Structure 1
């Protein structure tokens, strides 16, 4: 978090000095008054300056959007973004002419970009935000694909009477597999392995 300590003859003057140095406005910062100062005798002798600590407030949505726009530009696939928030979940939809480049094979590039955006947003903050990055409705299409895969491999596990291991997936995709099979009392699902190779195992009951 960008912050600095400033002084002035009054609190207001100290805050204004900090705002000028940070090149921002008062509605974008948190102000902590360390010392309100003291006027001296005849306004001169014994004067004590006011001291304030001013910190720029983080805007997680703006931080996420800026990061994505910058990375996409550097990859040669500039995009436009549209964001929605729900609590600490930030949903960002990307559109652009070269969007396929940012999705990648099986969404690997999209997942990596989402992970990096989440790291950027949660750096230097005590509040954790979850980023969900989407493009061309990929997440919904991927969810349907994973649900179909879950049912198909559950049938395979029952048919061969053995455990079936899936390919490594990020945690939110593993949750889709677990949810798809939670009502199937003939199989059970577990996650195995360590990140980034953590995967689902479907086993007959």
Structure 2
């Protein structure tokens, strides 16, 4: 298989394309050729994200539904349904891949590469954030009591961000990210002064 197969080919394999012709009625056999039309205006990013995700999840499980809302710094999508949590995959890997695809679809639209995309399925991200926040609080108490820094295992940026936010206003400890790429990790240190 050619490693350079592009996203358009993958999306086409899923039955998703820039102009989904299956939604257009076939032209009437006796219809006169129509005049050239002007190119359509770019689709609203929220609507584009919702359309993409709904098309994706419908092919996986027709009982799943998608809701997209605009947050301050991102578009946030929630996939719900009886079996939605399965879509997160092991350790959220499938969910992460869905986010990458969703971001890429939006980035293909002119001027949309600056938008952040967050996707949650069956409350997976919320439960994960709650767990990380509790971990941050426990470690903060431990670091404050011992006076020794605590280094966590490498973790994705979204998980580090949850811990940074949880400890941002903590009076006794602070957090910082160190390392590069996939080895980037978080250290919780006593706050001096």
Q: 1:170 aligns with which of 142, 156, 171?
A: 156
Q: Are the counterparts in 2 of residues 92 and 132 from structure 1 also a CA contact under 8 Å?
A: yes
Is 1:138 aligned with 2:124? yes
Q: 2:47 aligns with which of 62, 65, 70?
A: 62
Match of 1:118 in 2: 103
Change (3 A) 1:84 1:184: closer
> Which residue does the alignment assign to 1:204?
190
Output one character per residue of 1:86-131: Cα deviation in whole Å (capped at 9) or x when no partner. 4663221112333122112343322331232112111242242222
Task: Measure how far apart 1:81 and its partner are.
Answer: 0.8
Contact 2:49–2:106 under 8 Å retained in 1: yes
For 1:25-174, list aligned pairs within 5 A.
54-73=39-58, 76-78=60-62, 79-86=64-71, 89-127=74-112, 128-174=114-160
The superposition leaves residues 159-186 of structure 1 with CA deviations (integer Å, 9 ceiling, x where unpaired) of 5543322233333332221121122232
Whole-angstrom distance in 1 between the partners of 2:92 and 2:45: 24
Give a deviation string over 1:33-65, Cα, whole Å, max 9, x none: xxxxxxxxxxxxxxxxxxxxx354133223222
TM-score by length of 2: 0.66
Q: Deviations over 1:63-97 (max 9, x none)?
A: 222332344355x3442111222466322111233
> For residues 50 and 163 of structure 2, what CA distance do their matches in structure 1 show?
29
Q: Helix, strand or coil: the match of 2:182?
A: coil
Counterpart for residue 18 of structure 1: 36
The CA RMSD measured in Å over matched residues stands at 2.7
| Number of residue-to-residue matches in the alignment | 157
Question: Secondary structure of the residue that 2:174 maps to in structure 1?
Answer: strand
Q: What's the CA shift for 1:203? A: 1.9
113-122 vs 153-162, which moves further: 153-162
Q: For 1:99 and 1:73, locate their aligned partners in 2 and report how far apart those are by CA, in whole Å.
A: 12
Contact 1:77–1:101 (CA under 8 A) maintained in structure 2: no
| Cα gap change, 1:199 to 1:116, in 2 (>3 Å) | farther
* Residues in 2 aligned to 1:161 and 1:88: alpha-carbon distance in whole angstroms: 35
- Unpaired runs of 5+ residues, structure 2, are 1-17, 19-33
Q: Report the secondary structure of 1:140's partner residue.
A: helix
Give the structure with the larger strand fraction: 1
SS state of the match for residue 181, structure 2?
A: coil
- On the 8 A contact 1:146/1:176 being kept in 2, the answer is yes
